[in-house]
Amino acid sequence: MLLVCMGNICRSPTAEEVLRVKARQSGLRIEFDSAGTENYHVGDPPDPRSVRHARERGYDLSALRARQVHAADFQAFDLILAADELNLRELRRRCPAEERHRLALFLGDVALPDPYYGESDDFEKVLDLVEKQAAALVSAWTQATE
């Protein structure tokens, strides 16, 4: 599964690591990665605020590095989840028509808010939303494998 936001330094690396941890705790073996639709931060670690807030909840984002979505991602991942409509539209624009069924919003029908220009509470809200959605996804996947 590929998680996608704009710069790949806040929302998508947070979702990547939270999902990885939750899936591992449930005994699921799923490959997770994250990327950005833009190339602003390629090679950079996640935003220090994302790292700090995630660490306070037991998630380690320190090894992650930003990258941009590549054409090969549309075939490599069964599911590509965008943080918001802007990024979903960009993914649809780049994605071959026959692979667009793999694209969706991470939260289903609402945007995961971008905390980049926000305050501490905004990063906490993102973590709350990501943890809730990760729990729901992992539960559904676990039931599907039983």
Question: Which residues participate in catalysis according to the annotation?
Answer: 5, 11, 114
End-to-end CA distance of the chain: 20
**Helices of type H across the chain:** 11-25, 48-56, 73-76, 85-94, 120-145
- Which of 124, 113, 132 is CA-nearest to residue 55? 124
Q: How far is CA 76 from CA 79, 80, 128, 144, in A?
A: 9, 10, 29, 21
Q: How far is CA 58 from CA 24, 25, 51, 61, 136, in A?
A: 14, 13, 10, 10, 19
